[in-house]
Amino acid sequence: MLMYRKRDAVLNRSKVADSAVPAALKDAMEKRLDVDRQEQEEARRKRNSVTLTLFYKIREVAIVVQKKLPLRELKAHVREALPELKDVSDDCLRLRKYLLDKNIPSTIIGCVGGVEDEDRAVEGLDYDSNIALETRPASLPPWPPATSSTLCAVKVWVSKDLKGLRRCHGGDTDMRGGLAEALDFNMADAGEEGGGEEEGLQFSVEPEVMYLPKEGKVSDLKEHIAALYGADIHTMVAARANRQFNDLAISLLESLSGRLKPTDYTPLEGENFFVARVPSEELALYTEHASTFNTTPLHAAIKRATQIVPCTFNKLDAEGAAAGSHCLYVDIMQPVSRLKDAISEVVGLPPDEFRFYRKSYTGLSENMKEILKLEHTAKEADFTWGGPRNRLVIEKGAPPRQGVHSVKIMWIGTHKKGMWATSRDGGTLQVEEKLTVAQIKTMLSQRPEALAKGEEKINLYEKNYI
């Protein structure tokens, strides 16, 4: 049923003159509108912002910036986050997308037609990303034009005898990641962890990043190295090494016309190659008898090189907070306890006074897993070669005892009428692996929260979190 009444022009006013609004109410309305505008602007900024994790040498810093900002402004944010770069000009600083899962820098950011456009909005940063930073001294010539979309980055370990040759100035700029520069001071540790210097064929611990055609052949790789070091491609032998789960697969690249990609369906970017110069009398081992490659000096040298991996971690200040970064070389066949002893010397704490965690494989995730089984080898603790960077987080504090786990307790009860269940936080309980279910129930029954509720019977359930 509808009811109508006549509208009174005086009593039923729909608009109030500004002069009739009390000053206090007007001020309150203005403040509310200002708050609304600020909240809307903040929400807009959050929608248009991305988190970038910067990797420079062994440092790792996260910054939040707006999407579509000019490259010049992005570099200014980078210098603010990394004070050591405050005197580096835009011309001497270059940003690349960083493939953390393969531990290799990729395409240059802000590049248009092979040249960086400092005033153009950066494309391709519409989501959280990892960024690798490259710097060069101002005294060196400018960087060559950026690589085109037909090239991709690969990691190449060059034998030390090849690197001992003169480097040709006509070749491309050394594209090693910033981590290699930071680790040069620590080469003695690599020898110590690897059991000292060995005679014969040797490779550097850190690779060079080179850019080759996506459908490149073995000849492209060898010619690129020949242009850098002035070596004869006919005295070089190349091999591809891949990590397949926890196993290492090393294959000889015999023919110059052979493809660098292992299969048609896998990308070349991020692949790992070893190139060495071999005496002429040994070349037959790598041509006529490729089936015996596993017994050659090159195969043995590659296995030795892939056994040593860099590991980065944070140092601690006097209060136990993170302060700076450090890197050690790790022999993945040595026990984790040896690595913890080495970290102990760096952070200045006994091994039983700090805990260490392995960071996740993505630079944007804060997920960490504590390393507890010190008797395991570093390989068993997931320290790998040819994959993501091995990153640790060090925290001050006594680690849990071996075989003891911290278990979260949640008390689940039933409403008195039995219509729904209730739950309450029960804190944590330190549980030894050797305890039985009955013993754990007894421990829980003696807790104050159980006594207060008069818990006579306790059932245990396991709750899995996704």
Would you state the pLDDT for residue 343? 93
What percent of the chain has a predicted confidence (pLDDT) above 70? 81
Any idea which of 267-276, 318-327, 354-363 has the lowest mean pLDDT? 354-363
Q: For residue range 55-88, what is the model confidence (pLDDT) as tens digits?
A: 888 888 889 998 888 889 999 999 999 999 989 9
SS3 354: strand
Q: How far, in Å, CA of 365 to CA of 363, rounded? A: 6
Would you state the pLDDT for residue 338? 93
Residue 212: pLDDT above 70?
Answer: yes
Domain formed by 148-306, architecture: Beta Barrel (2.40)
Band the pLDDT of 342: cuts 50, 70, 90: very high
CA-based Rg of the chain, rounded to a whole angstrom?
A: 31
Higher-confidence position of 19 and 7: 19
CATH 3.10.20.90 fits 34-138, yes or no: yes
Q: How far, in Å, CA of 416 to CA of 396, rounded? A: 46
Would you state the pLDDT for residue 365? 55
Give DSSP secondary structure letters for 203-251: B-SSPEEEEEETT-BHHHHHHHHHHHH---GGGEEEEEEEEETTEEEEE
Tokens of 13: 């006013």
Task: Quote the mean pLDDT of the chain.
Answer: 79
Would you state the pLDDT for residue 335? 93
Band the pLDDT of 286: cuts 50, 70, 90: confident
Residue 235: pLDDT above 90?
Answer: no
Band the pLDDT of 297: cuts 50, 70, 90: confident
Would you state the pLDDT for residue 33? 92
Residue 455: pLDDT above 60?
Answer: no
This prediction's pTM: 0.68
Distance of CA 458 to the CA centre of its chain: 44
Once rounded to an integer, what is the mean pLDDT over residues 197-206?
74
What percent of the chain has a predicted confidence (pLDDT) above 90? 13
Band the pLDDT of 5: cuts 50, 70, 90: confident
Q: Residues 271, 302: contact at Cβ < 8 Å? A: no
Would you state the pLDDT for residue 153? 85
Would you state the pLDDT for residue 439? 86
Q: For residue range 376-420, what is the model confidence (pLDDT) as tens digits?
A: 999 888 888 877 778 898 988 887 776 677 777 877 776 655 555
Higher-confidence position of 408 and 366: 408
Higher-confidence position of 419 and 204: 204
Within this chain, domains 34-138 and 148-306 share the same CATH topology: no
CB atoms within 10 A of CB 382: 16
Band the pLDDT of 451: cuts 50, 70, 90: low
Which among 84, 60, 88 has a CA at the least distance from the CA of 75? 88
Burial class (CB within 10 angstroms; exposed 0-12, middle 13-18, buried 19+) of 169? exposed
Q: Is the torsion defined by CA of 430, 432, 438, 442 positive or negative?
A: negative
Q: How far, in Å, CA of 293 to CA of 309, rounded? A: 24
Which among 109, 5, 132 has a CA at the least distance from the CA of 56? 132
Domain boundaries, the chain: 34-138, 148-306, 308-396, 404-453
Once rounded to an integer, what is the mean pLDDT over residues 355-375?
77
Burial class (CB within 10 angstroms; exposed 0-12, middle 13-18, buried 19+) of 317? exposed
Tokens of 259: 């493809």
Q: How far, in Å, CA of 206 to CA of 141, rounded? A: 24
Would you state the pLDDT for residue 386? 74
Q: How far, in Å, CA of 429 to CA of 218, rounded? A: 59
Q: Which of the given ranges, 316-320, 326-330, 397-401, has the highest pLDDT on average?
A: 326-330
Would you state the pLDDT for residue 185? 32
Residue 341: pLDDT above 90?
Answer: yes
Pick the CATH number of 308-396 from 3.10.20.90, 2.40.128.110, 2.160.10.10, 3.30.70.2860: 3.10.20.90
End-to-end CA distance of the chain: 55
